[in-house]
Amino acid sequence: MRVLVVEDEIRLAENIAVALREGPGFAVDCAHNGHDGMAMAESGNYDLISLDLMLPGIDGLTITKNLRARGDKTPILVLTARDERKYVIGLLNAGADDYLTKPFDLGELIARAKALIRRGKGVPTPVIEVGRLSVNSVEQTIRCDGKLIDLSPTEYRILEYLMFRPRVIVSKRQILEHLYDFTWEHHSNVIEAHMSNLRKKLRATGIEATVQTVRGSGYRLAKPDDLI
């Protein structure tokens, strides 16, 4: 999963980014003013936006309104120092999905971020099933017929990403962008290596042709009926 953090307090932005990278293993991009945040939100493909309200250039409320006006449905978690009832109601009516009042606990931020991402993908619970496979996004585990599959953190994140969109073809670039931030070298062959290892581990469970290569396009998870 990929998250955009728009926060002008650089140290806080770095703390949030580290927590999201080291906890749930999200890819995180940061912007430190409203103009950059708006541009990145419009051009990037994010699963969640963590948005400070008091930003230089363009404030967070305006960014929220602009994104919703253009039809962008990316979940938005607003960080604010204000918790007055009327203010919060106006914030949510503008299109924000949730908010945290500063100062906040990073553990709570991670929990809310995970919940918003799940809801944004139409998954109300942390466990989803695709054929014989099930993923628990809280435990960060994947099982086959209830038996735990031993995956590396990167293998887990790739398979989780594919399980959220079964039968949908995703390109190598899309996978890289959801695993790593902008500093990653997009021409690396690391995805092929992880895919090879992932396939071997899935075949060991008795599931054949789970992760399919679509020549010239990318990868997809086989339709649920095939995962039997």
Give me the DSSP letters along 19-64: HHHHTT--EEEEESSHHHHHHHHHHS--SEEEEESS-SSS-HHHHH
Is the pLDDT at 25 greater than 90, yes or no? no
Q: Last residue of some domain: 120, 148, 170? A: 120
CATH for 86: 3.40.50.2300
* pTM greater than 0.75: no
Question: In which domain, by residue range, is 108 found?
Answer: 2-120
**What are the strands, taking DSSP E only, across the chain?**
2-6, 27-31, 48-52, 76-80, 98-101, 127-130, 133-136, 141-144, 147-148, 211-214, 218-221
How many independent structural domains does the chain possess? 2
Q: Last residue of some domain: 120, 153, 178? A: 120
Q: In this structure, are 95 and 158 located in the same domain?
A: no
**Would you call 43 helix, strand, or coil by DSSP?**
helix
What residues have CB less than 8 Å from 135, skipping those under 6 apart?
Answer: 127, 128, 141, 142, 159, 160, 163
Mean per-residue pLDDT, 19-29: 90
Q: CA-to-CA distance for 70 and 77, rounded, in angstroms?
A: 18
Q: What is the pLDDT of residues 146-194, one digit of tens each?
A: 899 998 888 888 888 888 887 888 888 888 777 765 555 554 577 888 8
